[in-house]
Chains A and B, each alone.
Chain A
């Protein structure tokens, strides 16, 4: 059986050895009659003289045709399977069934005079279910040429991979390895593109002269089959690797692949034509870990710096939102810009009623930097107008006490800055400005 089934692979892509001496050959998408003739010829070559072939779209019909056929090849016309089975005795159907029915079912059917497939198929589902139970229903379905079994299991296709080995020399030079990786990535990405797929992760394996290997997995933030993207990621990974020995072989395989995403474009999006370029640019940003695209969540925290919670946005979410036109244009306004960390300042104060207000301030030398308020000079920043204090305190519930007196001050440059005095430490800070 194994010998003939191996020979049959020359004419059919899938061959399955079944029970009762049946061999299944997959002729879907092929000229069935020619395949059948070739199968018979091979059987004859293998010394099987009385082989018969049944051709049908339904498995039970094909098996029955091969079993009862009077000619070497018997074709059941598509759509006629039920009519083909109708004259044959139920005994034959029971023998060909994937799960043979119990003997008492055959006896029960014989008791009511049902002996042929056509007679059983003529009954209704309710009638069969009530009188003969689940076994009866299964046989009834077969008699109606309703065979759901999958003779040929779908086969998973191997994901794309490429490799190259060399023996005459060994490489340590990153540039030369990158050259090979470039070719391997090209092969893999071409294959991915052919199947309309995109890779999410790839593994690079380096075979070393010490007969060991090093593996590194590389991931992209978005499934892609773009060679440039993968070469860039692989090259970055290669530069991070510390080689134990010289390299005598490289292989690249796709670990996870999915369908290439092609989101529906919005025809009212003026940037539609450049959406692919935007996607690639943002993918590159995130893959190279140079920057993050952030989103804002506002809170009601009394401390200013805790009111804005920033989180990294996923690329998919960013791309989905690109085509939308936002919430509408808003007139410009001077809004508060907060320093990531409040900077200590030296403040000169003056009395105002029952409290003191800043009249000038100066940043400490180490905090001087370009572009910051008061940073272009070392001298005092004079304050023209001061509003405040606005006092906040709290944090007892989490064990981080704070007490601050906030002042809004207009400097001589026209800048509106936000200063506060830490009442617990007695220290003044520049917290931000309006811009």
Chain B
């Protein structure tokens, strides 16, 4: 595997969770740090995830496979935040350590909560939580055709680090 490249300069500081925000549809959304205690609530959220929003095989579709996947990534080494509406998760973002002291990022938002600014809030607070945990280098992959996601990542400060594969790779230094 080739070494990933990251921007030379770190972007500014990000806000730490928790926070309560009003989304673009007037809903009150709570963003907070998440962890293994939230596993069952997250399984339920991913069971309701639109299969057409899946990316590179995740999240899995089957309930047992979702639980197995979350067990593997929601570890004490991971940084994870959740967005809740009426006490139930509607969005989830996570940083998972790779083997080169970088972190891979992914974010998932239920269909009816997309396009309301929740992704921006979730990402900013995830990176704020990451900064508090000592994370410096973050990368992600995104499908080339997923323009809304790419625009969001750019707005946050991600830069394209590799465009040679099926997916676009982007990275940020925080």
Chains A and B are bound partners = no
Q: Which residues of A contact B (CB under 8 A)?
A: none
Q: Which residues of B contact A (CB under 8 A)?
A: none
